[in-house]
Structure 1
């Protein structure tokens, strides 16, 4: 069927798992895209208008924008009007035959359609039912609309950026959507693991705000975790204004001279005049991290990027050139490692970023092209025996 069928027989660790995907935008679709790449049969249930991400970026034809094509690759698209009796009846048939039900509607909206957890579990008690929310249901903000920008603001990212750059700002990627999507993935798989051992299905809830609060506080909780607090909530090294790629004689370079072995090797090789016992240990450097970064910044201006890379890598000190996004597609390491996978689609070949995880026995791979809107509706109805 045009624009739809996967380009291989799934052999990944989720082969044989059927996922009913009622998510839109990025958080949920990113989660289910990984499931598809890992071998799951992902049926993307769309409204007649389609997922909004079909239309938000450039693409080879209307409704096939790049963001949509990437996070919905290898899925089967079925158009159902869930407000109609017929559409709801088809979805109920699919529920009975599925392992996972995942959606990104607000709690009241999915309940109005008759597909909250209680209703779905009544049809299929062993199903894993994952809610993807902006805010968790147990808090006062449960009914608020949420997008990546607003969740970045809620979780402190723009504030942390202000300490780095002097201005409040978002980070240059939709981090909240993607981190929450990965969290929804692992939460769903944990529930599937429990079902595999016990036969019990269950309801799972993943909220963007709670996910990003947890994500940000991994290191930034710092002294604020203790009672009484031992300091403010911030990891100083991560938010010092001098933490940025260093300017070299001819460009920029990312370097982290971090542990004591690296520091000693750097000082012995470069012999900066400002080095001394006051910076000799990681603990001492951590207490004066602003000063350390500023002094390193002055030193790295003295040589070219290539000269520094050759020296630092010979000392086993982490260093990398500052690359553009476009350069990722020509990166020698990624290309030699086979990271990109080219898939034939009705619109010509598409070079997808591939799976970042490797499995010796059940390898995943790009599951196939993204589906045109409703490309598999008839095929799925035929599977269900519905005309």
Structure 2
């Protein structure tokens, strides 16, 4: 009974961006019905996997949902999904709008079917611009949002962040927009279309840090936040590993040097005396700190940072994160039994609610696993279901 209990979401999305958004909604208690094409969601095939179609990335992006397989290219499948739209609060898609139009599932059609529905279209680009019809993937959007350029400005070769950062961030942004529309609908009684573009969302996030002097007309500089772009802003190498620390404000530096036995340092070296001075000499400050960090072990530095009340964490690997004592204490990783995949590890919902706890009770479904129960819940008779199966508009799992 999470905070979104009672909200029904029809998920017509696939791959990562849309499914990540709908997983969050499901984790918060919404009833999420994942509508898959007969070929299934491509992410099902990304390995590693114990069984075909149930890869790890799929499991970590599609829990808290049910799955039904509908062929929306058949008129019977389209009619079936419109019956489901009529009984849903939110429809989410990351299919390009032109394809949705060809399927007969445009915003105009959905609005006529259910005037109160929220239609959330997660798109690559704002649909009013010349890029509107282009396909969009995480790598492309990282490039357009200046992320590889940030690496170049920091003295490295242009590179992508090695994670689907745009898909995930835009998915979370879509959750915000969807819930804002739901709140407004509860006041007005009217649904609306919400578009969340990847390109503009990511550029707004990156340039909030790096627009810099380009904020002003005429420009004061060519943009970029110096601290973020310093080539030595990176995990500090220690004698036996790496530690991530941010000695940031005046108090941090005073306590840090005091614990080092050099309390005079901030005043003795004007580069360290004030925030402005450190920013002006940030490359030198970070480079000198990097050399100093090599003189002790990670544990020794963590102990010093704790005493100095300086923000710090050891750099984790994927495996060592599983052993983090804080995450163990809060139960972030949990082993559960999946109905088809056996014992798996899942991550907790990061947000907590005092009265309506959000807990993922429904594991990521096998393809079409819930089709029969979904159709029954939507009011389809046995004869109607049989006819849908006969035409190939719906595919139900074989009874074992």
**Which of the five TM-score ranges fits, normalised by the shorter chain?**
over 0.9
The answer to whether structure 1 residue 351 and structure 2 residue 341 are counterparts is: no
The answer to whether structure 1 residue 303 and structure 2 residue 293 are counterparts is: no
Q: Is the 8 A contact 1:352 1:366 kept in 2?
A: no
Q: Is the 8 A contact 1:341 1:366 kept in 2?
A: no
Deviates most, 262-271 or 146-155: 262-271
Secondary structure, counterpart of 2:243 in structure 1: strand
Post-superposition shift, 1:384? 2.6
Q: Is the 8 A contact 2:45 2:54 kept in 1?
A: yes
Distance in 2 (CA, whole Å) between partners of 1:274 and 1:299 is: 14
- CA RMSD for the aligned pairs? 1.4
The answer to whether structure 1 residue 16 and structure 2 residue 6 are counterparts is: yes
Distance in 1 (CA, whole Å) between partners of 2:64 and 2:166 is: 24
Match of 1:3 in 2: none
Distance in 1 (CA, whole Å) between partners of 2:52 and 2:359 is: 26
Match of 1:325 in 2: 318
Instruction: Give the 4+ runs in structure 1 shifted more than 6 A.
Output: none
Secondary structure, counterpart of 1:129 in structure 2: strand
Secondary structure, counterpart of 2:60 in structure 1: helix
The answer to whether structure 1 residue 334 and structure 2 residue 309 are counterparts is: no
Secondary structure, counterpart of 1:344 in structure 2: strand
Secondary structure, counterpart of 1:71 in structure 2: coil
- The structure 1 residue matched to 2:77, chosen from 78, 81, 87, is 87
Secondary structure, counterpart of 1:204 in structure 2: strand
Deviates most, 215-224 or 47-56: 215-224
Q: Output the TM-score relative to the length of structure 2.
A: 0.92
Per-residue CA deviation, residues 25-72 of structure 1 (Å, 9 max, x unaligned), is: 100000000111111110000000000000012112100011111111
Match of 1:316 in 2: 309
Distance in 2 (CA, whole Å) between partners of 1:259 and 1:38 is: 37
Distance in 1 (CA, whole Å) between partners of 2:46 and 2:56 is: 8
Distance in 2 (CA, whole Å) between partners of 1:277 and 1:211 is: 40
The answer to whether structure 1 residue 185 and structure 2 residue 154 are counterparts is: no
Post-superposition shift, 1:107? 1.0
Match of 2:156 in 1: 166
Secondary structure, counterpart of 2:346 in structure 1: strand
Match of 1:215 in 2: 205
Secondary structure, counterpart of 2:57 in structure 1: helix
- The structure 1 residue matched to 2:281, chosen from 277, 288, 298, is 288
Q: Output the TM-score relative to the length of structure 1.
A: 0.95
Match of 1:103 in 2: 93
Q: Which has the higher contact order (CA 8 A, sep 6+)?
A: 1
Q: Spell out the pairing of 1:52-67 with structure 2 (5 A cutoff).
A: 52-67=42-57
Post-superposition shift, 1:267? 2.1
Distance in 1 (CA, whole Å) between partners of 2:38 and 2:312 is: 49
Match of 1:8 in 2: none
The answer to whether structure 1 residue 277 and structure 2 residue 270 are counterparts is: yes
Q: Is the 8 A contact 2:257 2:265 kept in 1?
A: no
Q: Is the 8 A contact 2:271 2:281 kept in 1?
A: no
Secondary structure, counterpart of 2:353 in structure 1: coil
Q: Is the 8 A contact 2:87 2:378 kept in 1?
A: no
Q: Is the 8 A contact 1:45 1:79 kept in 2?
A: yes
Distance in 2 (CA, whole Å) between partners of 1:285 and 1:250 is: 28
Post-superposition shift, 1:339? 1.4
Q: Is the 8 A contact 1:18 1:41 kept in 2?
A: yes
The answer to whether structure 1 residue 366 and structure 2 residue 360 are counterparts is: yes
Secondary structure, counterpart of 1:330 in structure 2: coil
Secondary structure, counterpart of 2:322 in structure 1: helix
Which runs of 5 or more structure 1 residues have no equivalent in the other structure?
1-10
Which runs of 5 or more structure 2 residues have no equivalent in the other structure?
386-400
Does the C-alpha gap of structure 1 residues 149 and 38 become closer, same or farther in structure 2, counting only changes over 3 Å? same
Q: Is the 8 A contact 1:222 1:231 kept in 2?
A: yes
Distance in 2 (CA, whole Å) between partners of 1:136 and 1:58 is: 35
Distance in 1 (CA, whole Å) between partners of 2:361 and 2:43 is: 19
Q: Is the 8 A contact 1:343 1:369 kept in 2?
A: no
The answer to whether structure 1 residue 381 and structure 2 residue 375 are counterparts is: yes
Deviates most, 18-27 or 269-278: 269-278
Match of 1:5 in 2: none
Distance in 2 (CA, whole Å) between partners of 1:57 and 1:295 is: 43
Aligned length: 377
Does the C-alpha gap of structure 1 residues 39 and 267 become closer, same or farther in structure 2, counting only changes over 3 Å? same
Distance in 2 (CA, whole Å) between partners of 1:288 and 1:43 is: 54
